[in-house]
A and B are shown apart, each in its own frame.
Chain A
Amino acid sequence: SQQGEEDPQALSIQEGENATMNCSYKTSINNLQWYRQNSGRGLVHLILIRSNEREKHSGRLRVTLDTSKKSSSLLITASRAADTASYFCATPPSSGNTGKLIFGQGTTLQVKP
């Protein structure tokens, strides 16, 4: 079963706009990760945020984590056509687990030039 659920399922924006994707999860976690997948390729790790962190930045990416609401958001600022991809959040199934990651269904982002 999926731990995380991304929202929206699909997002289409113009180049230069910001894109926001949300992830909700069910159980307590010690960290949450975001991955990106270009069509037909493997996943690429973007950022990891720990449960004691509320916000983290990496270049044009901003990730927030609200453990009280069991949710996270990924913001891509000043989007580019090259940002077109699917984005997934991933969490351990519960805190103190064996180390596996459970992925959500993903948000498909299209950035139009």
Chain B
Amino acid sequence: EDKVVQSPLSLVVHEGDTVTLNCSYEVTNFRSLLWYKQEKKAPTFLFMLTSSGIEKKSGRLSSILDKKELFSILNITATQTGDSAIYLCAVEADSNYQLIWGAGTKLIIKP
């Protein structure tokens, strides 16, 4: 059965710290891995990764995919209180119009 596992489930750090969020997956016919940030309501798209070893970067956020070891990490450097959110990882496998979602990592940044 296809599955996506995120760790940790929750994380509390202080402003300025660097955090690494993990997403591992077991799916048939992997197509892509996506990261979303959910602050209050609608999840918003962060990154889509399809190739191993190519880092995607947006400001203080970056992400990389390892298709051999079947995981991705999302790094946030110099965290700010505005980074507090649930970070969701999802994997598209095969062509079935679905994303397989992880349970999310709840990140809390303390001032």
Whether A associates with B in a native complex is no
B residues contacting A by CB (< 8 A) are none
